[in-house]
Chains A and B, each alone.
Chain A
Amino acid sequence: MPWNRCWTPAGARDERKDRMSNNGYLFAAYAATWIIHIVYLGTIVSRYSRLKREIEDLKKPAVRS
């Protein structure tokens, strides 16, 4: 079966050899995933705090009247 149809665990010898290979790409992919999610969550938080300020501004004239 071709490599892209059957994914099987490595044997003990292969596992030792491969464990250290390509770790940079693995780290980069996981880091990129979380950076994308954290940046998006950051935009939600900043939009929420801007909205809170707008709500405070809306309440001010009502207090004065």
Chain B
Amino acid sequence: MNRAFPILGILTAILLSYALYQALVVAPTEQTMGDVQRIFYYHVPSAWTAFVLFFVNFGASVFYLIKRKPAADIVALVSAEVGVVFCTVVLVTGPIWARPVWGIWWTWDMRLTSTLVLWLIYVSYLFLRRFSSSGQTPTLAAALAVLGALCVPFVYFSIWFFRTQHPQPVMGGGGSIDPRMLHVLLINWLAFSCFAFLVCWSRYRLESLQREVDQAHALESLLDPRGSTR
């Protein structure tokens, strides 16, 4: 497992570099927006990766609520944390694209607002995990995660259900995309998915180790309450 990590890390770095080359050089320039449309190759795969991670968070939270397995709780925490990072990328790259195309950085449009609300829900989930020391924290967090996950399909389908300034889905929504653009989009999604998997893996190992150390500290203070400074 430890030997596989650096190999996968190198392969992911190569894949990310290849995806960047595809996005900047190989993908054709879009007719209306010009080069700024290339932001799409980072914005959309980041959004899809965030949605997948929030879905993993939902699954792990439900599993934790049923089985009470600590590993499921760690998976839920890690996927929410990495998902928030990807959602942050979406919320930052979106306005950078909107400024030259729409002429504004932000509008209180349904897709943009619901994405911001989704981000705030998962940030509050992480705050709950970080600052609550109660033994009930994993259960409360899992319940919050289940409610937060309900927001994900709402964000995704908001551009179908509401009149919105956000571009319509270029796949499956009656729109179309040049096959070369689709190819580059999928390569970037694959690269970001591999990157997210590696980050989740390292974060999972870190969290498992942290919990073992916390248990060792608790044991140490039980065995020698006077000698313990923690």
Contacts and interface: CB of A to CB of B under 8 A. Distances in A.
Interface in B15-50: 20, 28-39, 42-43, 46
A23 to B, nearest CB: 6
Contact of B89 (A1, A32, A61): A32
A26 B36 contact: yes
Contacts of A21: 34-36
Interface string A2-40: 011111111100110111111101101110110011001
A30 B175 CA distance: 26
A22 B210 CA distance: 45
Interface in B68-117: 82, 85, 88-89, 92-93, 96-97, 99-100
Contact of A19 (B35, B99, B168): B35
Given A44-B206, A55-B213, A36 B34 contact: no
Contacts of B34: 10, 14, 17-19, 21-22
How extensive is the interface on chain A, given as a class?
35 or more
How extensive is the interface on chain B, given as a class?
35 or more
Contacts of A1: 175-176
A9 B96 contact: no
Interface of A: 1, 3-11, 14-15, 17-23, 25-26, 28-30, 32-33, 36-37, 40-41, 44, 47-48, 51, 54-55, 58, 61
12 contacts: A5-B167, A7-B37, A8-B30, A8-B178, A9-B31, A28-B96, A32-B89, A32-B92, A37-B85, A44-B206, A51-B209, A55-B213
Given A32-B92, A32-B93, 12 more contacts: A4-B175, A6-B175, A9-B29, A10-B29, A14-B29, A15-B29, A22-B33, A25-B96, A33-B46, A51-B206, A54-B217, A61-B220
